[in-house]
Structure formats: structure tokens, C-alpha cells
Amino acid sequence: MEKRLSEVPKLQGTTVESGVPIRDPRRYYRQYVGVIVSGQKLIYINAFCEEHPPSSWQQKLVDDCDGGCNWGVLYDPTTAEFSHFGVNGIA
């Protein structure tokens, strides 16, 4: 999954609201959450860029859905594909 992060910016053009351009996904703080969608095990990547992230960002989910430069995407470890990309924020 980490090796394929460079594919994330290509997904941005497929969303209706593109928000802040994601040029280098590796520059974002990232959180990984295992989820089950319709019986399928996936990984949700919650990414955010903040100069000073909350001190608990490694223990608690950062939920900042309004403003900033946040994005999220699902990853399927079975197919090695990303889907359901969403981005938030204004440059």
C-alpha cells in the first residue's frame, strides 16, 4: 500500500469536488483504519497536513472534515487498488 501511494493524485481527477491538489501523498500525516465494507476487508487512509498535528494523532482518529487539507481513500489489499478518494480543503 505504501509503495502505491503515488497513485493517489491520479484519483483526484475522478472526484466531483477536487479541493486542494494532492501532489505528494507521502508528505501528509497518515492514519490507517481497518474497515469492513459489504463483507470486504479494506484499509481506510485518513490523511491530513497540519503544521502541528494534535499530540494524540497516533492514538486517536483526526476528524477534521471542514477546512484544512485532508483527504481519505480506501485501499483493497486483495486487488492492491485504491477507491473512494475524497479530498477536503481550499488552497
Q: What is the 3-state secondary structure (H, E, C) of 4-51?
A: HHHHHHHHHCCCCCCCCCCCCHHHCEEEEEEEEECCEEEEEEEEECCC
Residue 5 near residue 76, CB atoms below 8 Å? no
CA distance 12 to 33: 21
pLDDT tens figures, 5-41: 988 888 875 554 556 678 888 888 999 999 999 999 9
63: confidence class by pLDDT, cuts 50, 70, 90: confident
More confident residue, 61 or 77: 77
| Confidence (pLDDT) at 18 | 54
DSSP lists the bridge partners of residue 41 as 36
CA distance 25 to 91: 16
Count of the separate structural domains present in the chain: 1
Whether the CA torsion 7, 20, 54, 60 is positive or negative: it is negative
In which domain, by residue range, is 14 found? 2-88
